[in-house]
């Protein structure tokens, strides 16, 4: 059976990491049995989650996980899409993963109140005497990552403006379709669901959440994906499960 190394449910989301949620939804879409293991972060081959172990083979990174599933299990997550649609799906996926993601990281990790409600809770298990030092060190690492990527050099309102443009683009593209690329879910939906739910997460007070909440179609979309892939959940990110 495939093992998905994850952080485990958090913030009311299937996983605090949109990349882990994406990998989990891909496994659900594929109909492959898997188990989640939350003890793998220290052994993560690229220092990040998710990664999977499949019959002794380790595959790290959500996109490589997707390609592994497609190759090994002869799945085409973009079944029925034209080359042009596949190109659009790839572009939207990477917009969320490599652009919107950083606006999300900024909202969760840099804003003090959001940090206290969210990421700070990851460190609850660390002995109290060393916790403040460790938390400060990891937060500094995230700040440096934001700076290297570039978003961290902008003012907060500029970061929100960039993130909002991506949220609006996703909403405008989805339009009245049930799923991002049409009537049925495709690979992009694993990513879009994970990121839109992450942005809508009611735990965090962020202008970016406000931007997403203005799009009724995005909220219904998260509810639709919840009904399809997390049938035991009544809601995710404040979006009621409904087909």
Residues that bind ligand GSH (CB under 6 A): 17, 19, 47-50, 61-63
In the complex, what is the shortest distance from the CB of residue 181 to ligand GSH, in angstroms, rounded to a whole number? 20
The answer to whether 51 touches 5, Cβ cutoff 8 Å, is: yes
Q: Which is nearer to ligand GSH, 198 or 223 (CB)?
A: 198
Q: Report the alpha-carbon distance of residue 200 to residue 206 in Å, rounded.
A: 9
How many angstroms from the chain centroid is the CA of residue 73?
Answer: 23
Q: Report the alpha-carbon distance of residue 38 to residue 101 in Å, rounded.
A: 22
How many CA atoms, within 13 angstroms, populate the side-chain half-sphere of residue 194? 27
In the complex, what is the shortest distance from the CB of residue 61 to ligand GSH, in angstroms, rounded to a whole number? 4
Q: Which is nearer to ligand GSH, 31 or 47 (CB)?
A: 47
Instruction: To the nearest 10°, report the CA torsion of 175, 179, 181, 185.
Output: 180
In the complex, what is the shortest distance from the CB of residue 100 to ligand GSH, in angstroms, rounded to a whole number? 12
In the complex, what is the shortest distance from the CB of residue 46 to ligand GSH, in angstroms, rounded to a whole number? 8
Q: Report the alpha-carbon distance of residue 193 to residue 222 in Å, rounded.
A: 6
- 52-75 in b/e form (b: 16+ CB < 10 A) is bbbeeeebbbbbebbebbbeeeeb
The answer to whether 194 touches 236, Cβ cutoff 8 Å, is: no
In the complex, what is the shortest distance from the CB of residue 227 to ligand GSH, in angstroms, rounded to a whole number? 25
In the complex, what is the shortest distance from the CB of residue 22 to ligand GSH, in angstroms, rounded to a whole number? 7
Q: Which is nearer to ligand GSH, 152 or 178 (CB)?
A: 152
Reduced to 3 states (helix: H, G, I; strand: E, B; else coil), residue 206 is: coil
Q: Which is nearer to ligand GSH, 104 or 170 (CB)?
A: 104
Q: Which is nearer to ligand GSH, 47 or 127 (CB)?
A: 47
């992009």: which residue's tokens? Answer: 188
In the complex, what is the shortest distance from the CB of residue 164 to ligand GSH, in angstroms, rounded to a whole number? 20
The answer to whether 200 touches 192, Cβ cutoff 8 Å, is: no
Q: Which is nearer to ligand GSH, 19 or 151 (CB)?
A: 19
Q: Report the alpha-carbon distance of residue 121 to residue 181 in Å, rounded.
A: 36
Q: Which is nearer to ligand GSH, 36 or 49 (CB)?
A: 49
């Amino acid at each position: 059976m495939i093992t998905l190394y994850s952080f485990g449910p958090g913030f009311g989301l299937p996983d605090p990491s949109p990349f882990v949620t994406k990998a989990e939804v891909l496994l659900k879409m594929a109909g492959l049995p898997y188990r989640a293991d939350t003890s793998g972060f220290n052994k993560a081959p690229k220092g990040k989650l998710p990664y999977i172990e499949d019959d002794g083979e380790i595959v790290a990174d959500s996109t490589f996980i997707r390609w592994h599933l497609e190759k090994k299990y002869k799945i085409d997550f973009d079944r029925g899409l034209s080359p042009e649609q596949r190109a659009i799906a790839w572009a939207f996926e990477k917009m969320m993963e490599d652009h919107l993601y950083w606006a999300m990281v900024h909202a969760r990790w840099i804003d003090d109140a959001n940090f206290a409600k969210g990421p700070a809770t990851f460190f609850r298990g660390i002995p109290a005497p060393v916790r403040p030092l460790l938390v400060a060190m990891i937060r500094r690492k995230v700040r440096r990552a934001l700076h290297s990527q570039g978003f961290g050099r902008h003012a907060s309102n500029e970061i929100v403006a960039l993130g909002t443009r991506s949220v609006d683009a996703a909403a405008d593209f989805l339009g009245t379709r049930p799923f991002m690329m049409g009537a049925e879910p495709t690979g992009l939906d694993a990513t879009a669901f994970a990121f839109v739910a992450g942005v809508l997460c009611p735990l965090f007070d962020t202008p970016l959440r406000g931007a997403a909440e203005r799009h009724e179609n995005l909220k219904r979309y998260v509810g639709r994906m919840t009904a399809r892939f997390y049938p035991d959940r009544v809601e995710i990110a404040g979006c009621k499960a409904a087909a």
